[in-house]
Structure formats: structure tokens, C-alpha cells
Amino acid sequence: MAGEQQGREKAARDEERIEEAAVGTPMLQLRLLLVVLTLAGIWIARDFVLELAWAVVMAVALWPLYRRLAPPRRAGRGLPVVAPLVVTIGIGLILMMPLGIVAVEVARDSQAAMSWVTTAQKQGLPAPQWLGHLPLAGGRAVAWWQAHLATPQGSSQLLGRLDAGMIAKWTETIAAEIASRSMFFLITLLGLFIILRDGERLAAKSIANARRFYGEFGERFVYRLADAIRGAVNGTVFVAIGEGTLIGFAYAALGVPRPVLFAVITIGFAMLPFGAWAAFGVASLVLLVQGHVVGAAILFAFGAAVMLIGDNIVQPALIGNSVELPFLWTLVATFGGLETFGLVGLFIGPAIMAALFLVWREWIGEEAAPGSRRRRRREARARRRTGFVAADGGSVEEG
């Protein structure tokens, strides 16, 4: 009897192992299949990763504003269409505005440039008076000008390569680049529309999955990551627009050539660390070369004051504690993101570095304890800035 009992127990154990193997093996195979298909999907979509990254960054940055314009719908009313479409079209028009300004300025100067080239080839161009007053290099600059541009022979030899064929090739290259960028732009706007339309569901899924894999820290991580992206966008784009606009008024008041074009360039360069300094530094140098010494000094001093106030007072106030990075790591993340991802790396780089620091502090125990007043204030601030919904479908937007 004892042997039969042991035999039945052994058979039951074997049957349990067989059932566990039968249940476990498909799950393991499913996970392997999921990994393979995910890698294959990333490989297929590799040419559109930057477009999707731009769409995600813009959607996260615009989400609180979008929520004020289009409050959450009640359950069962379907997905919104009009609100995300209007916001997407508006963002597209705003992004196209600086490109239109640059195109108008280039078209205005193209005819003058061609006339200048024709005159130089036929008659030569005398050296401007201010050229000889350049410090250190004035004499050499005048000698070079006299040898290459002052006479028709020298001008024709230097500028003779600018024939119709070369101009046509340049035009073809520019047209191809514009077509490529236009497709990039359209895919980004399409991605932005879809993310805004499905934002509630996507946010709930992201938070639910993060909570499932990493518990309470995963949910907090999603909020803080979105807060870091929004802080990087606010502290970069809005401050750059403000700084470039104020310095642009100074360009117009002090007589800098093409002040609107210089202002647009300054806004673009202001998104880079120390970029705007180079922009208004060049504008000051233009005024100095033209003989406006006082105007050049005023422009540089005004630009420096605007940049110091914007970078040290306004930008920290906009970002707050969303991107908690030391200055050196912020600089490395910004330039590293720009080198790796292009322009969108200006926002993704600091966000990824902030996420790394958050995980590191959680791992070594430097994060505030769960339930502490500091953590509750930080999480509430992140939820208000993020405006996402909780995993159970309730809105976490406060106030």
C-alpha cells in the first residue's frame, strides 16, 4: 500500500511538472516572439523614428494646453477629432512661419546677389572704405579685394564658376531637400494629431504598464519623465523666442541689415547653449565693420543682458525642478542629444539624462521616502504639469 501511495504521488508530481511546462513554454515563446517582432518593427520604422520622436515631444509639451482647450470627453462619446485637428494645424502654421520668413528674405536678396555678381564680372567692384579699417587684417583684406574683385578680369576669374548650370544644380539640390523636409514635417504632424486624439488612452496604458512592471516607482517615473520633457521644451523654446524677439527689436533700432532674418536666426541659435551669443555677436561685428562703433557696443551689451536674465532667471523659473540636472550634465545632455538625434535631441537628451538620474537616485535610496511631504508635493506638481490620466481612467489633472 505504501508503495502504491508513493507511486501515485510521484505520478501526480510528474503530471504537475508536465502541466507547468505546457503552460510555461508558450508564454516563453510568446515573449521571445514579442521581442523579435518589436525589433523587426523598430527596424522597419527606423527612418521615421525622429518624426515620431518629434510628435511625442510636441504632444507631451502641448498636453496641458490641449486639455484646457479640449476637456476630457465622457465615456462612450468616441474619440475627439476637431480639437486635435485644430491644434495640429495651428502648430504646423506656427512652425512654418520662420521658414516662410527665411524664404522671403532669401528671395528678396537673390536678385540683388545676381546683380552684384553681374556688375562685378563686367566692371569690377572697388573695395569698401571700411575694409581697410579692420583690425590686424585690414591691409591684407584690401590687397585681396584689389587682386580678385576690383578689376573685371579678377572678378570674372573668381566668380566665373557661378554659371547657369551650377545655379540649376543648386536649385535642384535645394528643391530635393525641401521635398524631403516637407515629408518629414507631414509625418510629424500626422503623428502629433494621432497622439493628441488618443492621448487619454495612450497615457493610461503607459502608466498602467509602468505600474505593472515597476510598481509605484514606475508610475512616478512616467510622470517625472513627461515633466522633464515639458520642462526642457518650455525652458528652451519659450525662452529662445523671448530672447530672440527682444534682441530682434534691438537689431531694428540700431540699423542691423535684415533685422527680421537676424532675429529668426537668433531665435534658432538661442536653443543651443551660447548660440545666441554668436548670433548677436556677428550682428555687432557687422555694425562695427560699417563704422557704427557705439551701436555695436550697445547691441552687444543689450544682447548680453537679455541672455543673462533669460538663462539665469526666466529659464530656471519655467523649468522649475522638472529637470534636476547639474549644469555640466545639462550641457552634456543637450549637445549629446543634438549630436545623436538632431534638433529633437535638444529636448530628448536632457529628459533621458533626468530619467537616468531619477532611476539612479531611486536605486541608491536618495529619493524622498514614499508618503513624505516632499514626495507628495513633487508628484502633485508633476501631475499638474503633465495633465495625464491615471491608469483607472480618472483624470489626475488638478486645479
The C-alpha atoms of residue 262 and residue 279 are separated, in whole angstroms, by 8
HSE-up of residue 351 (Cα within 13 Å, Cβ side): 28
Phi, psi of 50 (to 5 degrees): -65, -40
Q: Cα angle vertex 161, ends 155, 165, to 5°?
A: 140
Q: Looking at residue 392, what is its pLDDT?
A: 40
How big is the chain, counted in residues?
399
Q: Looking at residue 150, what is its pLDDT?
A: 67
Burial class from Cβ neighbours inside 10 Å (0-12, 13-18, 19+) for residue 390 reads middle
Cell numbers of 158, please? 573668381
3-class state of residue 186 by DSSP:
helix
Cell numbers of 91, please? 502648430
Burial class from Cβ neighbours inside 10 Å (0-12, 13-18, 19+) for residue 127 reads middle
Q: Looking at residue 306, what is its pLDDT?
A: 92
Q: Which residues contact 286 (CB under 8 A, 6 or more apart)?
A: 256, 257
DSSP string, 309-349: HIIIIIHHHHHTTSS---HHHHHHHHHHHHHHHGGGHHHHH
Strand-pairing partners, residue 395, are 389
Q: Cα angle vertex 351, ends 348, 354, to 5°?
A: 150
**Cβ count within 10 A of residue 225:** 21
**Cβ count within 10 A of residue 286:** 19
Can you state the angle between helices 275-289 and 239-254, rounded to 10 degrees? 0
**Per-residue DSSP letter, 238:** I
Query: pLDDT tens track of the chain, all 399 residues?
Result: 555 556 566 656 665 665 555 444 566 777 788 888 988 988 888 888 888 888 888 898 888 888 888 777 665 566 678 888 888 998 888 888 877 777 776 666 666 666 666 766 676 767 776 666 666 666 777 777 777 666 776 666 666 655 555 666 666 676 677 777 778 888 889 999 999 888 888 888 888 888 888 888 888 888 888 888 888 887 788 888 889 999 999 999 998 888 888 888 898 888 877 888 999 998 998 888 777 888 889 999 999 999 998 887 777 776 655 666 677 777 788 788 888 887 778 788 888 888 888 888 878 776 555 555 555 555 555 555 555 444 344 444 433
The C-alpha atoms of residue 84 and residue 193 are separated, in whole angstroms, by 6
- Do the Cβ atoms of 218 and 210 come closer than 8 Å? yes
Q: Which residues contact 304 (CB under 8 A, 6 or more apart)?
A: 277
3-class state of residue 389 by DSSP:
strand
Q: Looking at residue 293, what is its pLDDT?
A: 83
Measured between its terminal Cα atoms, the distance across the chain in Å is 74
The C-alpha atoms of residue 125 and residue 151 are separated, in whole angstroms, by 7
Domain positions in the chain are: 2-44, 52-123+164-197, 124-162, 200-399
Can you state the angle between helices 293-309 and 275-289, rounded to 10 degrees? 170
Q: Looking at residue 397, what is its pLDDT?
A: 40
Q: Which of 230, 227, 203 is nearest to 382 (CA)?
A: 227
